[in-house]
Amino acid sequence: MAAISLKIEELKSSRDISSYLYDREDISPGIVAKVNKILEDVRRGGDRALIKYIRRFDRTDLDDIKDIIVSEDEISSAVKGFKKEFPDLAGALAQSRKNIEQYHIFQLKNGEKSWLKEFGPGRKLGQKITPIKRVGLYVPGGRYIYPSTVLMTTIPAIIAGVDEIALFSPPGRNGNLDDILLYLLGIMGIHEAYKVGGAQAIAAMAFGTETIKKVDKITGPGNIYVATAKRIVNGYVGIDCLAGPSDITIIADDSARADFIALDLLSQAEHDPFSRSVLLAKSKRLAEKVVESINMLLETLKNDTAYKKNVEIALKSMKDFCRIFYSSKTELLIEACNTIAPEHLEIITEDPDNIVKGIRNAGAIFIGSFTPVVAGDYIAGTNHVIPTAGNARFSSPLSVNDFLKRSSICIYDRDALEKEKDKIAVIAEFERLYNHRDAVLKRFSL
């Protein structure tokens, strides 16, 4: 395996990072057209159209639409056998579940609450927090199986009090969901699941079919077709965020271990050939050591067949989308990071608190040499569904609050309304909404 050549650049301005940023126009018109056709076909054709696309894209010989429904027998059988066959994995998932639940329960208790307050005689205002009634959770399949995403998407929804949770995931080549997904459905108490993926799954969630009841909100990551479909149906239903390929930014000084940084850059790169990674180093010396460490790691993996596919993906990702910068100016590194607005940010420096204070745009922040992104991916408890593609400028990681909605409350008695009726009438009359005006004034003359 040839050594990977990574250019090391001196960061002189945050503008130097501009070529790394996502282009919102990089979704080809062809993909948008294909996804639009799938969405429209499923919206109009329901189950019949869904079967057509399941056969084509999920690669299963489906005859009866009911075969996409995950049965209680499948789930209970998986739960019974899974702990016995994979005790260590079951124990790890149990710990992950516990940590995620603890974090999100605390988040809920200390987050937004329903309230009602008197703001004057006879006038009360407030808000009511209500869980979303029905949510569709998308769990990617294909190259990898993601049990961690089941935990990350279901736990906040359950804690928020969502009434109906429906899970959608592409089936394997045998036409079924992997046993680990069935196991998690069982232990999490999810009783509605479907063996369908891609844009057709998003269409079924957004519009419903004869078999599938439409949802109020869609959450969960997916490939470019899933992301494009979510973008298009946004408005028909709520969505969590518009996701792109995963990304990581690492800010590090000479106190950081170069081999640790290399490990974290490679682990992120193996997600997808389009995954993006950037190092913002305090010195050129550190940057050079990281590049050396990356090549040493790749050399050790080249003869390990278990890593072959992952290494191929990571190599393409790093060749096309890895950038390494250095600057002795901490403020410039912070500015560059805020410009990128990374999904994942690792800070490995002697004074991380000072850097954290300056970070405005980052989805999830991991501090210290022993807090790799993978801890947050699996077991730390924070959510790993995080805004990508620079969306951390205005979006947040998935949380309990994503499954809650606010209703404002307004209560006037007669005296309170009479006190303000003329002001209401003046505004309504200016806007030429005369029935608005009369709806207040005539209450006191009829």
Residues designated catalytic: 343-344
- Tokens 């606010």: give the residue: 406
Handedness of CA 220, 224, 225, 231 (dihedral sign): positive
- C-alpha to C-alpha distances, 432 to 374, 405, 423, 427, 428, nearest whole angstrom: 58, 32, 14, 9, 6
Judged on CB neighbours under 10 Å (0-12, 13-18, 19+), 72 is exposed
Using CA atoms, how far residue 84 sits from 60, 88, 91, 101, 189, in Å, is 29, 10, 11, 24, 19
> From CA 279, how far away is CA 346, in angstroms rounded?
10
- The two beta strands, 123-131 and 164-169, are unpaired
Tokens 């990089």 sit at which residue? 26
Number of Cβ within 10 Å of residue 436's Cβ equals 15
How far is C-alpha 249 from the geometric centre of its chain's CA atoms? Answer: 17
Using DSSP's 3-state secondary structure scheme, residue 74 falls into helix
Q: At 101, is the secondary structure helix, strand, or coil?
A: helix
> Please, are residues 54 and 68 in contact by the beta-carbon 8 Å criterion?
yes
**CA 305, CA 292: separation in Å to the nearest integer?**
23
Pairing of strands 134-138, 164-169: parallel
By the 8 A CB rule, do 320 and 272 touch? no
Report the chain's C-alpha Rg in angstroms: 26
Query: Beta strands 322-326 and 247-252: pairing type?
Result: unpaired
Cα dihedral 398/385/391/368 (nearest 10): 100
416-421-425 Cα angle (round to 5): 160
